[in-house]
């Protein structure tokens, strides 16, 4: 299953802020995801950036002035409003937020928004004082109450040279927010999915840990795919270098014991548990309070077994496990399927090229009791996530019928 943006009709409203230059990147990313992007520029925005930029990136006409007979789409703005699946205003100035809060419709963008019943998201970008001004805050609350999604703003460097709140959020965050909104009515709507990710870090002393090569990419991709199908997602992650996915409740943990507690808590109202984390099988028996000093030629650390989170998780939730193996892949996966009481095992040959740790692709086999083994082609980890979730949806509906 592709991203929910693929084949969708997106209206991108661009208003007059210096952050307009980032809207060009957004238009490009949305187009690359397979969306049909219709850009509407306000008068203010066209002082910063030209329609040609967006036309070149989206391969579609750009709407400008509502009353400009030269503008191919201006007259058509109501039709555009009707066919949109989602509308995003990025950057959204304080001025356009005020107009939207009051239902004004004096240009092509605001008139189109008023004529549309598609979900609306806005990504504010402005000076910090303009943003914190009670007038802007009141307008934002009004929009939020009406179900508008407010994305950001972020803190950091502002064009005024000051630092503060008011920066347009980064483009990937906007793209992810749109996926989450478009995915709301997906086949996992109403379901609660718990995902684990990353490699646990078991401390030896205050500076050293025992960990593994897991990058967390597979777990993060599963969490994003579940979100994009409408699930309420809680992700429990060991340390990674990845940003928290948008629209996913992310719980950061360090050790296997911390991961177990967080997962069991999340499973209390969970329907599905997908354990993509590389949980350390053993941890040091004791953790030194101070940094251990260098000593003799050899040093041994006594280890004790960690609990098996997947095996111990409540049987009420549908459990999916991963088997990362370097030998006897399917044999091991079948044994773990039974031993850990899981409905589906994702067997992952970590020695295969472009597969396993750190890379964005994975080559896996799905192993379950009913169907046996299904070999998947080399796919992006996000697509692997969807293939796993296709099976989860089937297994959930089969267990609802039985």
Annotated active-site positions, please?
A: 212
Residue closer to ligand C5P by CB (options 120, 272) is: 272
Q: Is 347 in the site for ligand C5P (CB under 6 A)?
A: no
Q: Residue 132 and residue 332: Cα distance in Å, rounded?
A: 57
- Cβ closest to ligand C5P, residue 16 vs residue 199: 199
Q: What is the dihedral of CA 218, 225, 86, 125, to 10 degrees?
A: -30
Which residue of 205, 249, 308, 390 would you call a contact of ligand C5P, by CB under 6 A? 308
The alpha carbon of residue 38 and the mean position of all alpha carbons in its chain are separated, in whole angstroms, by: 24
Is residue 61 within 8 Å of 55, Cβ to Cβ? Answer: yes
Among 90, 92, 275, 366, which residue sits at the site for ligand C5P (rule: CB under 6 A)? 275
Q: Are 234 and 265 in contact (CB under 8 A)?
A: no
| Cα 76 to Cα 73: distance, rounded to the nearest angstrom | 5
Shortest reach from residue 359's CB to ligand C5P, in Å: 19
Can residue 367 be called a binding residue for ligand C5P (CB under 6 A)?
Answer: no
φ, ψ at 81 (rounded to 5°): -60, -40
- CB closer to ligand C5P, 272 vs 310: 310
| 323 contributes a contact to ligand C5P by CB under 6 A | yes
- Give dist(CA 305, CA 134) in Å, integer: 56
Kindly state the DSSP code that residue 184 receives in the 8-state scheme.
G
378 contact partners, CB below 8 Å, separation of at least 6: 354, 355, 361, 362, 363
- Residue 317 interacting with ligand C5P (CB under 6 A): no
Asked whether position 365 contacts ligand C5P by CB under 6 A, the answer is no
The answer to the question of residue 322 lying near ligand C5P (CB under 6 A) is: yes
Q: List binders of ligand C5P among 278-297 (CB under 6 A).
A: 279, 281
Angle at 320 between CA 318 and CA 326, to 5 degrees: 165
Question: What's the min distance (Å) between Cβ of 239 and ligand C5P?
Answer: 15
Q: Which of these segments, 41-49, 98-106, 166-174, 308-316, binds ligand C5P (CB under 6 A)?
A: 308-316
Nearer to ligand C5P, 179 or 323 (CB): 323
CB of 340 to ligand C5P, least distance (A): 6
Torsion of CA 223, 226, 230, 236, to 10 degrees: -30
Please tell me the count of residues contacting ligand C5P according to CB under 6 A. Answer: 14
State in Å, rounded, how far the first CA of the chain is from the last one: 27
Site string for ligand C5P, 195-234 (x = CB under 6 A): -x--------------------------------------
- Which residues bind to ligand C5P, rule: CB under 6 A? 196, 256, 275, 277, 279, 281, 306, 308-310, 321-323, 336
């Amino acid at each position: 299953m592709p991203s929910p943006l693929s084949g969708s009709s997106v209206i991108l409203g661009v208003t007059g802020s210096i952050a307009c230059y980032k809207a060009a990147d957004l238009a490009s990313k949305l187009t690359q995801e397979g969306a049909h992007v219709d850009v509407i520029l306000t008068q203010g925005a066209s002082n910063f950036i030209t329609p040609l930029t967006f036309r070149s990136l989206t391969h579609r006409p750009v709407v400008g002035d509502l009353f400009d007979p030269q503008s191919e789409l201006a007259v058509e703005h109501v039709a555009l409003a009707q066919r949109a699946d989602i509308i995003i205003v990025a950057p959204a100035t304080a001025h356009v937020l005020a107009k939207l809060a009051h239902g004004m419709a004096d240009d092509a963008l605001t008139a189109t928004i008023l004529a549309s019943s598609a979900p609306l998201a806005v990504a504010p970008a402005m000076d910090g004082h303009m943003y914190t001004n009670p007038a802007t805050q009141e307008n934002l609350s009004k929009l939020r109450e009406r179900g508008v999604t407010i994305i950001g703003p972020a803190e950091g460097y502002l064009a005024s040279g000051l630092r503060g709140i008011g920066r347009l959020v980064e483009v990937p965050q906007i793209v992810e927010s749109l996926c989450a909104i478009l995915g709301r009515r997906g086949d996992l709507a109403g379901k609660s999915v718990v995902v684990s990710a990353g490699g646990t870090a078991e401390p030896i002393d205050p500076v050293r840990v025992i960990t593994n090569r897991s990058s967390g990419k597979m777990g993060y991709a599963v969490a994003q795919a579940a979100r994009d199908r409408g699930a309420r997602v809680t992700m429990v992650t060991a340390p990674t270098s990845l940003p928290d996915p948008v629209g996913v409740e992310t719980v950061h943990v360090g050790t296997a014991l911390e991961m177990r507690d967080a997962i069991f808590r999340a499973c209390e109202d969970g329907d599905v548990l997908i354990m993509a984390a590389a949980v350390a099988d053993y941890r040091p028996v004791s953790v030194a309070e101070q940094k251990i000093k260098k000593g003799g030629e050899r040093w041994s650390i006594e280890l004790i077994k960690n609990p098996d989170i997947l095996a111990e998780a409540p049987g009420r939730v549908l459990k999916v496990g991963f088997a990362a193996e370097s030998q006897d892949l399917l044999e091991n996966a079948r044994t773990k399927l039974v031993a850990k009481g899981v409905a589906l095992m994702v067997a992952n040959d970590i020695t295969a090229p472009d597969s396993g740790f750190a890379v964005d692709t994975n080559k896996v086999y799905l192993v379950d009791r009913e169907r046996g083994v299904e070999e998947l082609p080399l796919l992006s980890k996000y697509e692997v996530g969807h293939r796993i979730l296709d099976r989860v949806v089937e297994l959930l509906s089969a267990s609802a019928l039985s």
